[in-house]
Structure 1
């Protein structure tokens, strides 16, 4: 495996106001950065990451902080694998939470089916939830730089949730057909 390059950002920001420090942390986590320790993080070296980190470097300076941005590589294959494992562990944690939410979603639909609560309002609510899941998994996948182990499981779980919602939708439409008056069906 050829050596991978990363961007290393080290920074210090005054403790107060805390909102600035938290804002920087959130932006870095939103980029998919891993923290090696407090104020030291890594991202894969890409033009986009470089541009975004330079913007953050300016934001840190505006917050009366200090930042240093470097390009780096692991010393050997083992170090490189450790870094990739850290990125994958973060994504796997996110995929795990996603999978758990999908399971809860499926259980909710199973309960709605069990009690025969087949309404358009409930269907619409569940469709909105599934749309949120699709947005959520896309965000995780965008940050899954090295193909975390749980990625495939998460995609399969989303597909299962979609199929369960499709079956529920079929039940909703069938229940609405049954509720039509016999005269309406003849006309």
Structure 2
């Protein structure tokens, strides 16, 4: 890729990272071979050519099991970094809802906000999992945290519903 404008190089980098590629050296990146990857890489190859760049797509094989294992560890390390970030956000979510519960802030608006945040976690997890080609070590922990957040949200929702019922104004029946 030509060095300028940098935004084009960054756009290519983002697309490759979004596919789960690991970068080696000198602009070389790797992805497991799949029909989806091949299709997306062919499209990207054309985009790069339109940017006056050059892309070479090839199939490779590790020289031995040790080399293959090194590559798998690189993929897993990248996914684990993503899982760590998600777990950190889940932990903060748990602490935030614990504080909302402690101060008895049980409103529908807060519940909606917490539901939206949980939905983001689910989407985020799905994106990471899609690129987790070799089942990174933190995948199980992240899945457990996601389930934990769902349970926390359910408990908070029950508190909101109970609080709203207590605060509901009851209208006495009209006299006949």
**Residues 1-187 of structure 1 mapped to structure 2, 5 A cutoff:** 13-183=1-171
Give unmatched runs, 5+ long, in structure 1.
1-12
d(CA) in 1 for partners of 2:163, 2:35: 54
Q: Across the two proteins, how many residue pairs are aligned to each other?
A: 174
Q: Deviations for 1:139-169, whole angstroms, at most 9, x for unmatched residues?
A: 0000000000000000000110110111110
Q: Tell me the equivalent position of 1:5.
A: none
d(CA) in 2 for partners of 1:48, 1:178: 53
d(CA) in 2 for partners of 1:178, 1:34: 54
d(CA) in 2 for partners of 1:135, 1:69: 30
d(CA) in 2 for partners of 1:144, 1:115: 39
Q: Deviations for 1:60-99, whole angstroms, at most 9, x for unmatched residues?
A: 1111111111100100000000000000000000000000
TM-score by length of 2: 0.95
Q: Deviations for 1:163-182, whole angstroms, at most 9, x for unmatched residues?
A: 01111100101101111235
d(CA) in 2 for partners of 1:56, 1:89: 25
Higher strand share: 1
SS at match of 1:103: helix
d(CA) in 2 for partners of 1:182, 1:20: 62
Give unmatched runs, 5+ long, in structure 2.
none
- Report the aligned-residue RMSD: 1.3
SS at match of 2:58: strand
TM-score by length of 1: 0.90
